[in-house]
Amino acid sequence: MKTLRYLAAVAVSVSVCVAVHGAGAATVEQWGMFELALAGPTNGNPFTDVHLSARFVKDFDVVEVRGFYDGGGVYRVRFMPPKQGVWRYTTISSAPELDGKTGELTATPPGPGNHGPVRVTNTYHFAYADGTPFRPVGTTLYAWIHQPEALQEQTLKTLAAAPFNKVRMCVFPKRYQWNTNEPALYPFEGRPGNFDFSRFNPGFFRHLERRILDLQKLGIEADLILFHPYDEGHWGFDRMTPTEDDRYLRYIVARLAAFRNVWWSLANEWDFMEKKTEADFVRFGELVSREDPYGHLLSVHNGYVLFNYTLPWITHASIQNGAAVESALSAELYRGAYRKPVVYDEIKYEGDIPKRWGNISAEELVFRFWNATVAGTYATHGETYLSPDDVLWWSKGGVLKGQSPARLAFLRRVLEDAPPEGIEPIDKWQNPEFGGRIPDYYLVYFGKAAPTEWEFKLPRRRQGPAEGMRYTAEVLDTWDMTITPVPGTFTLVRQSEYFFADKAGRKIQLPGKPYIALRIKRVKE
Amino acid sequence: MKTLRYLAAVAVSVSVCVAVHGAGAATVEQWGMFELALAGPTNGNPFTDVHLSARFVKDFDVVEVRGFYDGGGVYRVRFMPPKQGVWRYTTISSAPELDGKTGELTATPPGPGNHGPVRVTNTYHFAYADGTPFRPVGTTLYAWIHQPEALQEQTLKTLAAAPFNKVRMCVFPKRYQWNTNEPALYPFEGRPGNFDFSRFNPGFFRHLERRILDLQKLGIEADLILFHPYDEGHWGFDRMTPTEDDRYLRYIVARLAAFRNVWWSLANEWDFMEKKTEADFVRFGELVSREDPYGHLLSVHNGYVLFNYTLPWITHASIQNGAAVESALSAELYRGAYRKPVVYDEIKYEGDIPKRWGNISAEELVFRFWNATVAGTYATHGETYLSPDDVLWWSKGGVLKGQSPARLAFLRRVLEDAPPEGIEPIDKWQNPEFGGRIPDYYLVYFGKAAPTEWEFKLPRRRQGPAEGMRYTAEVLDTWDMTITPVPGTFTLVRQSEYFFADKAGRKIQLPGKPYIALRIKRVKE
């Protein structure tokens, strides 16, 4: 077995173990990445001519993963051990020199900050594989990896200080208003007008992987957009043949599924892709779901027509709909329809571009996040302030100019203090301002109303609470980011068929401003 | 073959042909009901011991229908001919005297008022089988057939003058607040506390059938609720065994599927039935769908938890959610999620009972209907005014006391004037006040806003309209029920990326009251 080139940045990450076959026992963290590098055929088209996969076995667990050609005669197989312990592997290949290679690795306990991939939990929520809650507070950076290197580095620096734990980003470059610069790298061999869709450009993917790992180090999930309409034939990545589409998907899943912070988003605005049908995306979803041995989160983002989020391979609803989060009431509706987590992955952007989807105020954006929150759903930020250099955060990154990120950081702190199971709507169609977990925790969000007082009350539900329970309250100014405890406690007494109130009839004084919430917690007796 | 008793009321209906086997050629209208009556065994339990079905064949069409035992030694097979022409039949039975009977009938053109059963059309809308649009304007009369005869007759008289073309009604009697009277008839042999769920009471079902035909004569669809929770063990119809449930469903489909105005509603508030699971309703739906040879409309109505309306056998979403229709914006959301017709079959009731679901104003109810309308969905009325005799229309019928029915009659006239394909939201998440059909017809509903003028404008969409198109407008006062034409015409010119306006910049003067709509029609050049 030959000595092989290492991945540039990847090899230095604590999460990655690159094993040269025959080099002896390897160790890798659980949910880290083990990589087997093998020398193989270079004749013909290695991307299409050679099949390579490997079976990783530990006791009764078997994980079969597809390998991929990484150029220069190097084939790789990547594996994210889902459990700790010794895994043995055997390769299977159409090329004799890649076939039947065996070896083992030891998956060790995860290191600090490694919680595994994010999964759906409690029907409507998310948690890392180790059980740590994950509460998406995402942003969009559609084309950040296609920008000049210095801008990418600046984006990472901004992200390090920003509240976002998920980034929506495209694999393919983006051509659109304010996005007309060509990228340095393309995913296929060739140049615009002359790509060979049967030959991938490994350098492009290594760069993508480096950026995914950069996000991973920042604790950010990479919500990878696999197709998008912002091409319109300029490069033609939006109009490859079914064979080319499927080959691309198999290749990218083979390369990336072992990155624990990857989510699959089959498309941005799937229905705006003129050369693709809904059936294409169903095929894509089935393919990705079948190829990905780890079950990474998988969804499809819409333009005007919602995808069918009830399909079994879709893990959560990734929805563009700014209107739905204009109230907590409407934000809840899709949740009940889909019975899956709802992430409002486009709710219009804080900014000032002359587009109706890109010029809401920071107040409005934060308001929509809070509506989503008390409705038991999640939302995604994006920023579109005009700039002389056409660098809008929304798509290219750079620096954040808006007022919403600080408030979303505040929201994120509130979410981190909330019950780990996630926030549920309490009485969704009658009192949508109440979110929380019965009977211990409530958020009451007043939105654009500016009440000066609030009679303490909690909805009566079958699950609770009960008379006599005691609560404390805090006034949250979601815009000014203050938390003001209300003195004393409130004791429940039945007020009506539908509400408990405080035994003493106490009211809470409020500042008479919009964007106020209450946080109400049960006193553990 | 013996001479047999005829159905009492059914036999006189023009839609029904009761054939005594061997009595010669029969004729029946297309979508009318052919009934074959046969004498058979009376020993044992004929409801459970005897299988009877019949195959009706015409050219390449084959319809196999289940027969049923109607008591007194009489077995019946009912058939609703879906096409005109000669149909030949053969019976199949486990009882030799019922087996192998053959004959034929001629299905003639439908008579006046017979448009066939209602189907889904254009994804989100309804039409009769002959293509005539059906625009649901329903009401609830859950327990009307279980009331004293005189009250039932009064209900029919009220319905004859009311705007409703669909009635939600329970098969089983209802026990609930304001509903404590016992019915005269039960669906099974026995008495409360001692029912034999293996023996149906044919008299009960004949009565039900008579009432379905009474509605049919009034042009009203019977949205039959097959299970409901308003029993709680009092009769036990809500807690039969799976075998009993399934037998009941097979029996009722055998009896009623040949009535063209029947819709199947598997439940009211399915999730409030404590002894049933979601899986039970999936089984029920699959059974009804399999047993019904005609594909009558089929849905399940919810309490707090929406049913999964994407299941293939569900024809439309029958949704209880008063909050969703508080705006056209939110009314649309389920539509996009389900891609099926959405009928808001409970949006709270006009009335004054001390329940939060039963005390909205007539204005509010009509407002919700209009929101549903411009969102491309449908709604259902119900009335809950307290009455010393506990006769609330909502459940028992009688007379209508509210102010909404007249306004719903007005709405129905507007709907009948609208394009036959149904009203679609025009720009659902940005300008939900616009419903219609691009580019010919628009409704603009202002709801609770009370504008004094409105700048003429229409959303620019890919499907149209186009510059230069001319329109007329009318001001509709949906509460005072007036239609006021606006003088002159409006000619479209591009105003912005998102709107056309009138070339002359004309505005429409409005009365400054709530509940105003505009009807805008394209001038056919």
Secondary structure (H, E, C), A23-91? CCCEEEECCCEEEEEEECCCCCCHHHHCCEEEEEEECCEEEEEECEECCCCEEEEEECCCCCEEEEEEE
Q: What is the pLDDT of residues B453-489, one digit of tens each?
A: 999 999 999 999 999 999 999 999 999 999 999 999 9
Distance from the Cα of B428 to chain A's closest Cα (Å) equals 9
Alpha-carbon gap, residue B25 to B245, rounded angstroms: 37
Taking CA atoms, A418 is separated from A221, A415, A428, A490, in Å, by 21, 5, 19, 20
Contact B334 A337 (CB under 8 A): yes
Q: Report which DSSP code applies to B97.
A: G
pTM equals 0.94
Contact B330 A334 (CB under 8 A): no
Alpha-carbon gap, residue A406 to A137, rounded angstroms: 12
Alpha-carbon gap, residue A374 to A365, rounded angstroms: 15
B277 in contact with A, Cβ within 8 Å: no
Res A11: pLDDT: 32
For helices A202-217 and A149-160, angle between their N-to-C axes, nearest 10 degrees: 20
B338 in contact with A, Cβ within 8 Å: yes
| The pLDDT of residue A105 is above 60 | yes
Contact B336 A432 (CB under 8 A): no
Chain A / chain B CB contacts < 8 angstroms: 66
The two beta strands, B52-58 and B85-93, are antiparallel
Residue of A nearest to B339 (CA): A308
Q: How many CB atoms lie under 10 A from the CB of residue B455? A: 13
A288 in contact with B, Cβ within 8 Å: no
* Residue A22 burial by Cβ neighbours in a 10 Å radius (0-12, 13-18, 19+): exposed
Cα dihedral A90/A93/A97/A99 (nearest 10): 30
* Residue B524 burial by Cβ neighbours in a 10 Å radius (0-12, 13-18, 19+): exposed
Contact B337 A309 (CB under 8 A): yes
Q: What is the pLDDT of residues B336-359, one digit of tens each?
A: 999 999 999 999 999 999 999 999
Reduce the DSSP state of residue A411 to 3 states and report it. helix
Alpha-carbon gap, residue B426 to B415, rounded angstroms: 16
Contact A337 B339 (CB under 8 A): no
| The pLDDT of residue A10 is above 80 | no
Taking only residues 418 to 477 of chain A, the set having a beta carbon closer than 8 angstroms to any beta carbon of chain B reads 428-430, 432
| The pLDDT of residue B10 is above 70 | no
Higher pLDDT, B22 or B306: B306
Alpha-carbon gap, residue B419 to B437, rounded angstroms: 7
- The shortest CB-CB distance from A429 to any of B323, B339, B355 is to B323
As a whole number of angstroms, the longest Cα–Cα distance in chain A is 84
Q: What is the pLDDT of residues A111-125, one digit of tens each?
A: 999 999 999 999 999
Alpha-carbon gap, residue B238 to B141, rounded angstroms: 19
Q: Per-residue pLDDT averaged across B169-181, rounded?
A: 97
Contact B498 A356 (CB under 8 A): yes
Higher pLDDT, A24 or B454: B454
Taking only residues 65 to 104 of chain A, the set having a beta carbon closer than 8 angstroms to any beta carbon of chain B reads none
| The pLDDT of residue B107 is above 60 | yes
Contact A322 B432 (CB under 8 A): no
A227 in contact with B, Cβ within 8 Å: no
| The pLDDT of residue B3 is above 90 | no
A28 in contact with B, Cβ within 8 Å: no
Q: Per-residue pLDDT averaged across A501-518, rounded?
A: 98
Alpha-carbon gap, residue B303 to B147, rounded angstroms: 25
Res B22: pLDDT: 53
Contact B337 A305 (CB under 8 A): no
Distance from the Cα of A407 to chain B's closest Cα (Å) equals 25
Alpha-carbon gap, residue B105 to B54, rounded angstroms: 13
Query: Around B419, how many Cα atoms within 13 Å sit in the side-chain half-sphere?
Result: 21
Q: DSSP string spanning A179-197?
A: B-PPPS--SEEEETTEEEE
First to last CA, chain B: 67
Q: Per-residue pLDDT averaged across A74-100, rounded?
A: 98
Reduce the DSSP state of residue A511 to 3 states and report it. coil
Contact A306 B337 (CB under 8 A): yes
Could you report the predicted ipTM of this complex, rounded to two decimals? 0.93
The contacts of residue B121 (CB under 8 Å, 6+ apart) are: B127, B133, B421, B422
The H or E element spanning position A141 is: none
Among left, alpha and beta (phi > 0; psi -120 to 50; other), residue B226 is alpha
B336 in contact with A, Cβ within 8 Å: yes
Res B525: pLDDT: 82
Contacts of B459 in chain A (CB under 8 A): none
Q: What is the pLDDT of residues A248-296, one digit of tens each?
A: 999 999 999 999 999 999 999 999 999 999 999 999 999 999 999 999 9
Tokens of A279: 């059936």
Contact B329 A326 (CB under 8 A): yes
Residue of A nearest to B317 (CA): A337
Alpha-carbon gap, residue A123 to A337, rounded angstroms: 12
- The shortest CB-CB distance from A337 to any of B322, B337, B354 is to B337
Q: Which of B333, B342, B355, B463 to mutate to test the interface with A (most CBs of A within 10 A)?
A: B333
Residue type for position B167: V
Q: CA nearest A13: which of A167, A152, A165, A210?
A: A210
Do B435 and B376 form a contact (C-beta atoms < 8 A)? yes
Dihedral of alpha carbons B155, B157, B162, B165, sign:
positive
Mean pLDDT of chain A: 95
Q: What is the pLDDT of residues B40-68, one digit of tens each?
A: 999 999 999 999 999 999 999 999 999 99
Q: Per-residue pLDDT averaged across B137-144, rounded?
A: 98
Contact A429 B324 (CB under 8 A): yes
Contact A338 B336 (CB under 8 A): no
Alpha-carbon gap, residue A275 to A241, rounded angstroms: 10
- The shortest CB-CB distance from A329 to any of B310, B323, B430 is to B323
The contacts of residue B263 (CB under 8 Å, 6+ apart) are: B118, B166, B221, B222, B223, B224, B296, B297, B298, B299
The contacts of residue B50 (CB under 8 Å, 6+ apart) are: B40, B41, B69, B75, B93, B94, B95, B98
Res B511: pLDDT: 97
| The pLDDT of residue B407 is above 60 | yes
Q: What is the pLDDT of residues A168-179, one digit of tens each?
A: 999 999 999 999
- The shortest CB-CB distance from B333 to any of A305, A330, A432 is to A330
- The shortest CB-CB distance from A330 to any of B306, B329, B356 is to B329
The H or E element spanning position A382 is: none
Higher pLDDT, B447 or B11: B447
Q: What is the pLDDT of residues A427-484, one digit of tens each?
A: 999 999 999 999 999 999 999 999 999 999 999 999 999 999 999 999 999 999 999 9
**What value, to the nearest 5°, has the Cα angle with vertex B203 and ends B201 and B205?**
80
Q: Which of A333, A346, A357 to mutate to test the interface with B (most CBs of B within 10 A)?
A: A333
For helices A328-338 and A362-374, angle between their N-to-C axes, nearest 10 degrees: 50
Res B7: pLDDT: 32
Alpha-carbon gap, residue B344 to B166, rounded angstroms: 13
- The shortest CB-CB distance from A333 to any of B304, B330, B354 is to B330
Do A419 and A492 form a contact (C-beta atoms < 8 A)? no
Contact A430 B306 (CB under 8 A): no
Tokens of A39: 């020398």
- The shortest CB-CB distance from B337 to any of A334, A428, A430 is to A334
- Tokens 């539900």 map to which residue? A461
Distance from the Cα of B96 to chain A's closest Cα (Å) equals 48
Instruction: Indicate the pLDDT class of residue B9, thresholds 50, 70 and 90.
Output: very low
Instruction: Indicate the pLDDT class of residue B237, thresholds 50, 70 and 90.
Output: very high
Contact A356 B322 (CB under 8 A): no
Contact A429 B306 (CB under 8 A): no
First to last CA, chain A: 66
Res B18: pLDDT: 67
Contacts of A321 in chain B (CB under 8 A): 333, 429
Residue of B nearest to A429 (CA): B323
Residue of A nearest to B308 (CA): A337
What is the percent of chain B where pLDDT is above 90?
95
Distance from the Cα of B336 to chain A's closest Cα (Å) equals 6
Taking only residues 294 to 313 of chain A, the set having a beta carbon closer than 8 angstroms to any beta carbon of chain B reads 304-306, 308-310
| The pLDDT of residue B190 is above 50 | yes
| The pLDDT of residue A8 is above 60 | no
Q: DSSP string spanning B201-228?
A: -HHHHHHHHHHHHHHHHTT-EEEEE---
Contact A330 B327 (CB under 8 A): yes
Q: How many CB atoms lie under 10 A from the CB of residue B244? A: 16
- The shortest CB-CB distance from B306 to any of A337, A355, A432 is to A337
- Report residue B275: phi and psi, to 5°: -100, 10
Tokens of B489: 């015409």
B278 in contact with A, Cβ within 8 Å: no
Distance from the Cα of B497 to chain A's closest Cα (Å) equals 9
Taken in order of first residue, the domains within chain B and their CATH numbers are: 10-108 (2.60.40.10), 118-417 (3.20.20.80), 428-522 (2.60.40.3950)
Spell out a b/e string for B375-405, using b for 16 or more CB atoms within 10 Å of the CB, else e: bbbbbbbbbbbeeeeebbbbbbbbebebebb
Taking only residues 176 to 195 of chain B, the set having a beta carbon closer than 8 angstroms to any beta carbon of chain A reads none
Contact A337 B432 (CB under 8 A): no
Contacts of A338 in chain B (CB under 8 A): 337
